[in-house]
Amino acid sequence: MSTPKNRYSSRAEYFESLEDVPVNPSPEPTLGDLINARFNRRTLLKHALGVSALGALASSPLALLAAGAEHPVPTAPAGAAPDAAPQPATRFGFTEIAHGVDETHHVAPGYSADVLIRWGDKVLADAPAFDPATQSPAAQTKQFGYNNDFIGYIPLPFGSDNSEHGLLCINHEYTDEEVMFPGLGQYDEAFTGATRDLTEIEMACNGGSIIEVKKENGKWRVVPDSRYARRIDALQTRIALSGPAAGHERMKTAADPEGRTVIGTVNNCAGGITPWGTYLMAEENFHYYFLGDLDGHPEQANYARYGIPGKRYPWAKFHTRFDVNQEPNEANRFGWIVEVDPLDPTATPVKRTALGRFKHEGAECIVNGDGRLVLYSGDDQRFEYLYKFVTAGKVDPSNREANKDLLDQGTLYVAKFADDGTLAWLPLVHGQGPLNADNGFASQADVLIETRRAATLLGATPMDRPEDVEPNPHNGKVYVMLTNNVQRGADGQPGSDPANPRDANIWGHVLELTPAGGDHAADSASWEILVKAGDPADPGTAALWNPATSENGWFACPDNCAVDPSGRLWVSTDQGGAWSKASGSADGVWALETEGDARGTGKMFFRVPVGAEMCGPRFTPDGKTLFVAVQHPATDGTKDYPGFNRASTFEDPATRWPDFDDKLPPRPSVVVITKDDGGEIGS
């Protein structure tokens, strides 16, 4: 089997590169002409360090950068010169680990990082033991899925803050056939070697797992035979559609003439947990699963805007609903946020259409001061947008049932950034502005089904791939991970703007939003750049970090993030196949200071094995446990892994993490991190 493009190590990497090809046909004219207005010396200093640090750092590298010096923000070396100013202290007490790449994972000294559950491990009590040589769809529907991404933690009993017993809600994003199936290698364009069984194993590998976990004698374990244990997948899980698009003509299919029930959910990337203890699964790259031809297709423009058909998987060969020509509306039924009640394994999951249809990275939320819920979500593609949804009703903290359909009514907004450090949240409401019949929107259902096109008409700001967006309840701010955008400034593409300030941005950046008046439902916010990722010692990156950041403390390609119970920010990265160019180090978890003189200082805490990305950071309420998801070990960028320098296969992977057993392939796994002295993570 051949790789689609030989320079890529895996199909995951190749298809990720296709995301470089923007499908946004009419991006808002950029704010490029207005650049620099905001990036004067004073602003930069204020952003990075806080006003109080201005004096102390008048001759610092950062100050030189701000003043227009040629070499921006060199890394402060470990063991700084004797006459250097004292380094500002962060709130993170651990000893950081070093950049690097090898076959296994690493965590800061004094911590333990143990594998909790792996692809193929039992979820349901009657699941068979994992055997890659005899894997079947039936087995996979009962076992832990592939490519674990989002992790949510719900204490048990519900309503408590129990940090030693709870449910983990874990997303499974996609599959990597070349390291999953013996003798297959990477699919070619004709999907040679694909079978119905392999397809259905893949379908059962998407979705989510709910497992019960308990800490006993200092170690976490999965509770066997839990009454909460559940698999949600793309093969057999019935999912209801609700909200304005449910039942619409464009949602109806031969198998579902009512347009109200879908089989399955796909590409479940990040997500969220609501205050009433439901689990939100974001459907991200849903276009991957469709085959067919858009010529003359009734949804041609709509589908093209989402990259459908993505032709990454062979599913349509065996399940014709994934063929856009045989089932023209099926692709309208993916790209939503799915709400699951993990406390009731018989509850039907629901796709909440009011939250819009796009490549949702996640759906983290906060209860606003007025009691309404506000959910933030990025659309992860180059030049796509940042969204929020504000519920019409208020969260009822005393009656779980009363919140059951809260996500069906509310307002979806998209962000338009201005050069003066503010942004406007523009409502995507049918009948307002251009969202009318003249532009092909007959109803709110049409606006939601074609959320991207509606947002473009409103003039939303094209961003550098918005990934996780997380509100911090401790300081009221919102952190936006923008992972990268190599196409920024390319021929025919938007150039840099104040909120996306670098062309050919292979490193990404982190924005900090401050809602107006502390009101997450407000129609405006202010924003600042917290860090511009990449190596601050390399002038070519134009990175921006606090100079206190060490040579290991900087990262590239922020993807997921977590706010810990103390209100501190942690960031995980996904450089994909570009790791060797972006940082030369494997992905991992970094602490990122947001407050005080050390604001903008990173510190490396955890590192993944070669070829993996880091997902799902999630703390228990006591801050003493951090769950992380190691996704797709041995796949991305292994052609650049010194000494290996080739694409991985099942038989010949770059690493066999976490088992290191010659009979077993590498396996995506959830890792649980605790401090050996029993203290808080990062203390």
> Kindly report the CA angle at 593 between 591 and 599, in degrees rounded to 5?
150
Check if the beta carbon of residue 143 is closer than 8 Å to that of residue 127. Answer: yes
Q: How far is the CB of 559 from Ca ion (least distance, A)?
A: 4
Q: Distance between CA 397 and CA 94 in Å, rounded?
A: 36
Residue with smaller CB distance to Ca ion, 220 or 507 = 507
Q: What, of Ca ion, ligand FEO, none, does residue 173 touch, CB below 5 to 8 Å by kind?
A: ligand FEO
For the chain, the residue count is: 683
| H or E segment to which residue 202 belongs | helix 196-205
Q: How far is the CB of 557 from ligand FEO (least distance, A)?
A: 10
Task: Report CA 492 to chain centroid distance, whole Å.
Answer: 27
Tokens for 298, please give them.
């009734």
Q: Distance between CA 56 and CA 76 in Å, rounded?
A: 15
Task: Return the SS3 of 36.
Answer: coil
Instruction: Spell out, one character per residue from 312 to 351, where the chain touches ligand FEO: x when CB under 6 A holds, - when not.
Output: ----------------------------------------
Residue with smaller CB distance to ligand FEO, 267 or 472 = 267
Q: What, of ligand FEO, Ca ion, none, does residue 330 touch, CB below 5 to 8 Å by kind?
A: none
Q: Does 528 bind ligand FEO (CB under 6 A)?
A: no
Residue with smaller CB distance to Ca ion, 330 or 467 = 467
Q: What, of Ca ion, ligand FEO, none, does residue 535 touch, CB below 5 to 8 Å by kind?
A: none
| H or E segment to which residue 15 belongs | helix 11-18
Residues that contact ligand FEO, how many (by CB under 6 A): 7
Q: Does 449 bind ligand FEO (CB under 6 A)?
A: no
Q: Distance between CA 475 and CA 484 in Å, rounded?
A: 26
Q: Does 482 bind ligand FEO (CB under 6 A)?
A: no
Q: How far is the CB of 481 from ligand FEO (least distance, A)?
A: 9
Q: How far is the CB of 269 from Ca ion (least distance, A)?
A: 5
Task: Report CA 54 to chain centroid distance, whole Å.
Answer: 35
Q: Does 178 bind ligand FEO (CB under 6 A)?
A: no
Residue with smaller CB distance to ligand FEO, 376 or 644 = 376
Residue with smaller CB distance to ligand FEO, 361 or 408 = 361
Selected from 96, 202, 380, 680, the binder of ligand FEO by CB under 6 A is 380
Backbone conformation region of residue 594, classed left if phi is above 0, alpha if psi is from -120 to 50, else beta: alpha
Selected from 284, 384, 528, 597, the binder of ligand FEO by CB under 6 A is 284
DSSP per position, 293-319: --TT-TTHHHHHHTT-S---S-HHHH-
Residue with smaller CB distance to Ca ion, 122 or 607 = 607
Q: How far is the CB of 467 from ligand FEO (least distance, A)?
A: 5
Q: Does 96 bind ligand FEO (CB under 6 A)?
A: no
Q: Which of 452, 467, 355 is nearest to 406 (CA)?
A: 355
Q: Distance between CA 336 and CA 253 in Å, rounded?
A: 17
Instruction: Report the half-sphere exposure of 334 (CA within 13 A, side-chain side).
Output: 28
Q: Which residue minimizes CB distance to Ca ion?
A: 574
Q: How far is the CB of 231 from ligand FEO (least distance, A)?
A: 20
Q: Which residues pair with 512 in a beta bridge?
A: 479, 528
Residue with smaller CB distance to ligand FEO, 9 or 148 = 148
Q: Which of residues 158-177 bind ligand FEO (CB under 6 A)?
A: 173
Q: Distance between CA 471 and CA 632 in Å, rounded?
A: 28
Eight-class DSSP state of 458: H
Check if the beta carbon of residue 501 is closer than 8 Å to that of residue 576. Answer: no
Q: Distance between CA 327 and CA 313 in Å, rounded?
A: 17
Check if the beta carbon of residue 285 is closer than 8 Å to that of residue 252. Answer: no
Q: Which of 356, 375, 373, 528 is nearest to 454 (CA)?
A: 356
DSSP per position, 320-332: GGGBTTTSTTGGG
Q: Which amino acid is at 249?
A: E
Binding site for Ca ion (CB under 5 A): 269, 467, 559, 574
Q: How far is the CB of 31 from ligand FEO (least distance, A)?
A: 24
Q: How far is the CB of 71 from ligand FEO (least distance, A)?
A: 33
Residue with smaller CB distance to Ca ion, 137 or 378 = 378
Phi and psi, residue 645, nearest 5°: 50, 40
Selected from 65, 97, 269, 521, the binder of ligand FEO by CB under 6 A is 269
> Radius of gyration of the chain from Cα atoms?
23
Selected from 200, 361, 497, 512, the binder of ligand FEO by CB under 6 A is 361
CB contact set of 442 (below 8 Å; sequence gap of 6+): none
Residue with smaller CB distance to ligand FEO, 148 or 649 = 148
Q: How far is the CB of 344 from Ca ion (least distance, A)?
A: 28
Q: How far is the CB of 460 from Ca ion (least distance, A)?
A: 21
Q: How far is the CB of 499 from ligand FEO (least distance, A)?
A: 18
β-bridge pairing 350-352 and 238-242: parallel
Q: Does 28 bind ligand FEO (CB under 6 A)?
A: no
Q: Does 467 bind ligand FEO (CB under 6 A)?
A: yes
Q: How far is the CB of 574 from Ca ion (least distance, A)?
A: 4
Q: Which of residues 535-574 bind ligand FEO (CB under 6 A)?
A: 559
Q: What, of Ca ion, ligand FEO, none, does residue 284 touch, CB below 5 to 8 Å by kind?
A: ligand FEO
Residue with smaller CB distance to ligand FEO, 559 or 597 = 559
Q: How far is the CB of 574 from ligand FEO (least distance, A)?
A: 6
Tokens for 122, please give them.
């039992």
Residue with smaller CB distance to ligand FEO, 456 or 484 = 484
Residue with smaller CB distance to ligand FEO, 627 or 644 = 627
Q: Distance between CA 670 and CA 627 in Å, rounded?
A: 7
Residue with smaller CB distance to ligand FEO, 467 or 680 = 467
Check if the beta carbon of residue 505 is closer than 8 Å to that of residue 531. Answer: no
Residues in contact with ligand FEO by CB under 6 A are: 173, 269, 284, 361, 380, 467, 559
